[in-house]
Structure 1
Amino acid sequence: MNVRIRNLLPSRRDYAGLRRTWRGDLVAGVTVGIVALPLALGFGVSSGLSAEAGLVTAVVAGVIAAVFGGSHVQVSGPTGAMVVVLVPIVAGHGPGAVVVVTLLAGVLVVLAGVLRLGRAVSFIPWPVIEGFTLGIAVIIFTQQIPALASSHVAGASEHSSNAIVAAVQAFATLDPAYAAWALGAVAVVTACMWGAPRLHRSVPGSLVGIVVVAVAALVVGAPLARIGALPGTLPAPSLPVIDLSSLAALTAPAATVAALAAIESLLSARVAASLGDTGTYDPDRELIGQGLASIGSSLFGGMPATGAIARTAVNVRSGGRSRLAAVTHAVVLLLVVLVAAGPVGQIPLAALAGVLMVTAVRMVHLDTVRAILRSTRADAVAFVATAVITVSFDLIVAVVIGVAFAGFFALRGMSQASQVRREEVRGQTQPGDDRIAILRFDGPLSFTSADRVSAEVDAVRGVSVVIMRMSQLELVDATGAHMLGEITQTLERRGITVLIKGVQPRHEDLFRTVGVLAALRHHNHLFTDLPSAIAHARSHVQRETTTA
């Protein structure tokens, strides 16, 4: 089998250290499973689907991504970012369309892995990632407000698919008595999530809070809406029914889901690799694993899966070092489905809303926000623009525009870094030295600065020889090299002899191909050191003076 293909598939190497790490992996897997339970339920409900869809996704996708993915410690399942994308899809096409979108998105992510596009995430700047995260946090938080306003959860036709607008609309149907009960449940969950870890770091505050609220609601008879009945087993796998007439309309949403799944999974895997001694990750294999996970989830009626940064971090910090931990987390959730479906169905939706609200708040790190806003204007603009567009419009559009902002400012900075400086002729001054111009090129020379540099060189007047120093020239693209060739030709047409000094070996092929060297009057006008170039320039000036 081709080595390239073999590296993208599971192998015994994935479990090389299992004999040493299996105990820690089992403990970490159980811990992550407990943490993941309320999140899987909450994200399933919040997406407009069901708690069952969230659990199914966490179980099925969790196992597939663990086995086929490119990270040894990545934990996958439903995430808040994906919920944000799914809500408008459910609103526009109905819950049934999500299964088809999940299948299509999974195929696209697998294709991206096969095409070796895994490294693309490295081109997303840090401010854009943080702006993206802030926008997601705001959306997740505001998505919970309608569930707290009244026991009636409005349908897509009653509330906007935009989380901010939907939150405002929810106040029109506000039931003060119900809202008081719901906010009380949120307060209890919040207190448990913030307080339980202070008693002991291993105490799952979210699960404790949900249990406390569920028991209290049953004891006092609180009028809180519940999750409802859950099946006691996983649904039987089946191929989604694809309506060809609606397939075209679902292609764009599927592409959005695929892009988000790829970006979030790769970011999570990259973060996991920096948290501890977990080994490297293969970004291309990670895409294949996440794509297969979404395909598998769709066969069981689930939703798209991605690598989950928070759960992955819990896994690493709990001692997980191999894929066994992520598989164990999925088995724990499966046992919940098989053994505790009845009690889980009695959990109040307000308790899940509290878990997600606290999760959203924890996604935002104020120190990071302040650092970005105080860094550079370009980074601050990219951060704010990404966050605002994420909340107002679309996640993928936000990333694209954020990257465009960052790219624009980066190119502008590159343009400003390009300089042309005129230097004095070195050594003892000789007659005619004022007829020699030494131009030193610094920084990158690309399409962003070519016109400005050309204008600066063209402004040189009253000289007979121009020495262009290239030793400090950094990046040069085809446009920059072409501009140098045109400058040389223009100066030569004006009767000015051009000498080039210090062409770096890495630039020689480009200069030769584009025609910079061919534009010189003579091949002897190319020098490796400045004194030789100055001596040659003086001889030209002397001959010109003698002739005159």
Structure 2
Amino acid sequence: MSRLAAARALLPGRDDFDLRAPVLRADLLAGITVGVVALPLALAFGISSGAGAAAGLITAVVAGIVAAVFGGSPVQVSGPTGAMAVVLAPIVAAHGTASVALVSILGGVVVLAAGAARLGRLVGYLPWPVVEGFTLGIACIIFLQQIPAAVGTTVPAGRNPLLGAVTALTHAGSAVAWTVATVAVVAVTMLLLPKLHRGIPASLVAVIVATVAAEVTHAPVPRIGALPDRLVPTLPQFGFGVVHDLAGAVIAVAALAAIESLLSARVAATMTRGGPPVGPTRPDRELVGQGLASIASGLFGGMPATGAIARTAVNVRSGARTRLASVVHALVILAVIYAATGLVSRIPLAALAGVLLVTSLRMVPLATVREVVRASRSSAVTFAVTAVVTVAADLILAVEIGLLAAAFFALRHLARAARAHRDTLPGPAAEGDEHIAVFGFEGAMFWGASERVMTEIAAAADDVQVVILRFSRLHLLDATGAKALGETIEELQARGILVLLKGIQDHHQHLLTTTGALRTGDRLFTSLDDAVACARAHVHRTVAQVQVR
């Protein structure tokens, strides 16, 4: 692929939209459905992040449109998400709400650069237990963050969500009965409505019911408050010192935006299999689109954007076929900003807390948890470690530790699978065969297994005159394994044992030569029969020499 063609693959094309009547109708209906579902979530995640409800709405509109046009998934829906709200909360606590727009722009630049550098496929290297553990941790944090609003109190910004929840429960506000009742109304409505009809936007209906109830009863509960009635670009003020202070936050936001967006796109691709064709998912273009979306969102005073798995799933299930559905979803929310900010401002915060409480419980199905835990002990440990670190420490640190845990278990399994078994000689037995040992390598001979395997060979080579080492089934050899092999050959030769090497692959031979494991005079064979014939001849000569003496 030429550079020009590669650049074009990262940009919108003619085939992104399909305006035929059936497809257009399906996209319009799906977009309206997702917009209705996304409205309360945008408000809730904006408030949960500390940036405010307005930031959530702005992100859903601006980032939703930009990501839909420039992103790599035809059915991805982007906007504010729970994971990003979790990352932003401590940033807002440390640097104030003004930092959110700057972090969004700078984080978007990093994600954009990652897409231009073709790093989109790296998400495929994330192990499944790490992804699920990370998602469970996010769900736990979202749940814990809503408890203060649910009991009518506040906690200091930036406090660990678990400690904040405990503090809130022990210092419940005076309106605790009203807030708990509001949360209960929302939760019950969201849980019961889907059983009546799956097409009902349960979260929106639940918020409407709770808001009407609060207005009728004049409940003393905190409300969302004033919202913007228009979108105006505003470039945030920044200097080198501010950018330096926010560098760590920018990297965390960019990493999360890239990971969550690519995971969401991958889930969407899986959901669309077997249905009407919706076009391929392009991970590199997805990063470019998400980077541009976060930059645009920051310019309008919004939050960093990511692909939203739940809203994307609703989009797919509603019949979306092209990017138009995601654009329509954003326009629905934009209509609310221009036509209904007064009504939205009266929504109780406890109602949005109820929406997020139910949403967090649905993020990781129990069936998925059972599958991960039952898969293997290593997957269960990796899953649990990632989830615990996510809640107790930091999201990016959790992914890093989860990857380390997964790598440790993978290397341990690889090391245990590496072995050198003793084979029988081919063909009919001959005199002197008891003095010949054939060892076949299997698996990977690397730093985690080479010393053990070579020690076993040296110990098993007693009372033999010839050792044949077979390499045809050796899949992986690193420098440590090559060095250990060379030392073992030297040890066997020092004991008067002839070492014959059979079936060394070309790339392994190069490594063995450069590390000094292979030397001039070493006997190499491509056929086991030839190696055995040479070994038998050597044994016969040795026996004859002994008899002469």
Normalised by the length of structure 2, the TM-score is 0.94
> Gaps spanning 5+ residues in structure 2: where?
none
Question: What residue number does 1:173 align with?
Answer: 171
What SS class does the counterpart of residue 161 from structure 1 fall into? coil
What SS class does the counterpart of residue 144 from structure 1 fall into? helix
Question: What residue number does 1:469 align with?
Answer: 470
Conserved? CA contact 2:229–2:337, under 8 Å: yes
What SS class does the counterpart of residue 519 from structure 1 fall into? coil
Deviation digits for residues 384-408 of structure 1 (CA, Å, limit 9, x no counterpart): 1111110000001001001100100
Which of 217, 225, 228 is the equivalent residue of 2:225?
Answer: 228
Conserved? CA contact 1:498–1:521, under 8 Å: no
Q: Does structure 1 residue 286 correspond to structure 2 residue 282?
A: no
Q: Does structure 1 residue 347 correspond to structure 2 residue 347?
A: yes
Question: What residue number does 1:478 align with?
Answer: 479
Q: Distance in 1 between matches of 2:368 and 2:465?
A: 56
Q: Does structure 1 residue 244 correspond to structure 2 residue 240?
A: yes
Conserved? CA contact 2:129–2:383, under 8 Å: yes
Q: Distance in 1 between matches of 2:525 and 2:21?
A: 64
Conserved? CA contact 1:489–1:519, under 8 Å: no
Q: Which amino acid aligns with 1:225?
A: P
Deviation digits for residues 59-113 of structure 1 (CA, Å, limit 9, x no counterpart): 0000111111111111000000011111111111111111111111111111111
Conserved? CA contact 1:88–1:162, under 8 Å: no
CA deviation after TM superposition for structure 1 residue 16, in Å: 5.5
Q: Distance in 1 between matches of 2:385 and 2:457?
A: 38
Conserved? CA contact 2:150–2:354, under 8 Å: no
Q: Distance in 2 between matches of 1:539 and 1:51?
A: 86
CA deviation after TM superposition for structure 1 residue 347, in Å: 0.7
Q: Which amino acid aligns with 2:71?
A: G
Structure 2 counterparts to residues 60-99 of structure 1, below 5 A: 60-99=62-101
CA deviation after TM superposition for structure 1 residue 47, in Å: 0.9
CA deviation after TM superposition for structure 1 residue 124, in Å: 1.2
Deviation digits for residues 268-305 of structure 1 (CA, Å, limit 9, x no counterpart): 00000000143321111111111111111100110110
Question: What residue number does 1:534 align with?
Answer: 532
Deviation digits for residues 152-208 of structure 1 (CA, Å, limit 9, x no counterpart): 54452xxx52111111122343125x1111111111111221122222211000000
Which of 122, 147, 150 is the equivalent residue of 1:148?
Answer: 150
Q: Does structure 1 residue 496 correspond to structure 2 residue 493?
A: no
CA deviation after TM superposition for structure 1 residue 519, in Å: 2.6
Q: Distance in 2 between matches of 1:244 and 1:140?
A: 33
Question: What residue number does 2:124 align with?
Answer: 122
Q: Does structure 1 residue 184 correspond to structure 2 residue 181?
A: yes
What SS class does the counterpart of residue 430 from structure 2 fall into? coil
Instruction: Sort the Cα spacing of 1:321 and 1:507 in 2 relative to 1 into closer, same or farther, 3 A.
Output: farther
Conserved? CA contact 1:437–1:467, under 8 Å: yes
Which of 48, 52, 55 is the equivalent residue of 2:54?
Answer: 52
Instruction: Sort the Cα spacing of 1:221 and 1:404 in 2 relative to 1 into closer, same or farther, 3 A.
Output: same
Question: What residue number does 1:3 align with?
Answer: 5
Q: Does structure 1 residue 135 correspond to structure 2 residue 133?
A: no
Q: Distance in 1 between matches of 2:421 and 2:519?
A: 22
Deviation digits for residues 301-331 of structure 1 (CA, Å, limit 9, x no counterpart): 1011000000000001101111111111001
Farther off after superposition, 16-25 or 352-361: 16-25
Identity in percent: 54
Deviation digits for residues 256-276 of structure 1 (CA, Å, limit 9, x no counterpart): 111111110010000000001
What SS class does the counterpart of residue 428 from structure 1 fall into? coil
> Gaps spanning 5+ residues in structure 1: where?
none
What SS class does the counterpart of residue 8 from structure 1 fall into? coil
Q: Distance in 2 between matches of 1:284 and 1:511?
A: 38
Which of 194, 198, 205 is the equivalent residue of 2:202?
Answer: 205
The runs of at least 4 aligned residues of structure 1 exceeding 6 Å deviation read none
Q: Distance in 2 between matches of 1:400 and 1:325?
A: 35
Question: What residue number does 1:296 align with?
Answer: 296
Q: Distance in 2 between matches of 1:41 and 1:11?
A: 32
Conserved? CA contact 1:272–1:313, under 8 Å: yes
Conserved? CA contact 1:497–1:521, under 8 Å: no
Deviation digits for residues 5-61 of structure 1 (CA, Å, limit 9, x no counterpart): 111111113225766522111111110000000000000111112111000000000
What SS class does the counterpart of residue 248 from structure 1 fall into? helix
Q: Distance in 2 between matches of 1:155 and 1:437?
A: 72
Conserved? CA contact 1:18–1:322, under 8 Å: no
Structure 2 counterparts to residues 22-41 of structure 1, below 5 A: 22-41=24-43
CA deviation after TM superposition for structure 1 residue 509, in Å: 4.6
Conserved? CA contact 2:115–2:286, under 8 Å: yes
Q: Which amino acid aligns with 2:94?
A: G
Q: Distance in 1 between matches of 2:93 and 2:77?
A: 28
Deviation digits for residues 367-394 of structure 1 (CA, Å, limit 9, x no counterpart): 2212222222211111111111100000
CA deviation after TM superposition for structure 1 residue 246, in Å: 2.6
What SS class does the counterpart of residue 437 from structure 1 fall into? strand
Q: Distance in 2 between matches of 1:519 and 1:456?
A: 23
Deviation digits for residues 446-471 of structure 1 (CA, Å, limit 9, x no counterpart): 22211112212222222221111122
Conserved? CA contact 1:100–1:242, under 8 Å: yes
Q: Which amino acid aligns with 1:461?
A: D
What SS class does the counterpart of residue 246 from structure 2 fall into? helix
Question: What residue number does 1:545 align with?
Answer: 543
Which of 264, 268, 282 is the equivalent residue of 1:268?
Answer: 264
Normalised by the length of structure 1, the TM-score is 0.95
Conserved? CA contact 1:485–1:519, under 8 Å: no
Q: Which amino acid aligns with 1:494?
A: R
Farther off after superposition, 482-491 or 447-456: 482-491
What SS class does the counterpart of residue 462 from structure 1 fall into? coil
Q: Distance in 1 between matches of 2:96 and 2:448?
A: 47
Q: Distance in 1 between matches of 2:335 and 2:469?
A: 74
Conserved? CA contact 2:155–2:167, under 8 Å: no
Q: Does structure 1 residue 320 correspond to structure 2 residue 317?
A: no
Instruction: Sort the Cα spacing of 1:530 and 1:316 in 2 relative to 1 into closer, same or farther, 3 A.
Output: same
Q: Which amino acid aligns with 1:190?
A: A
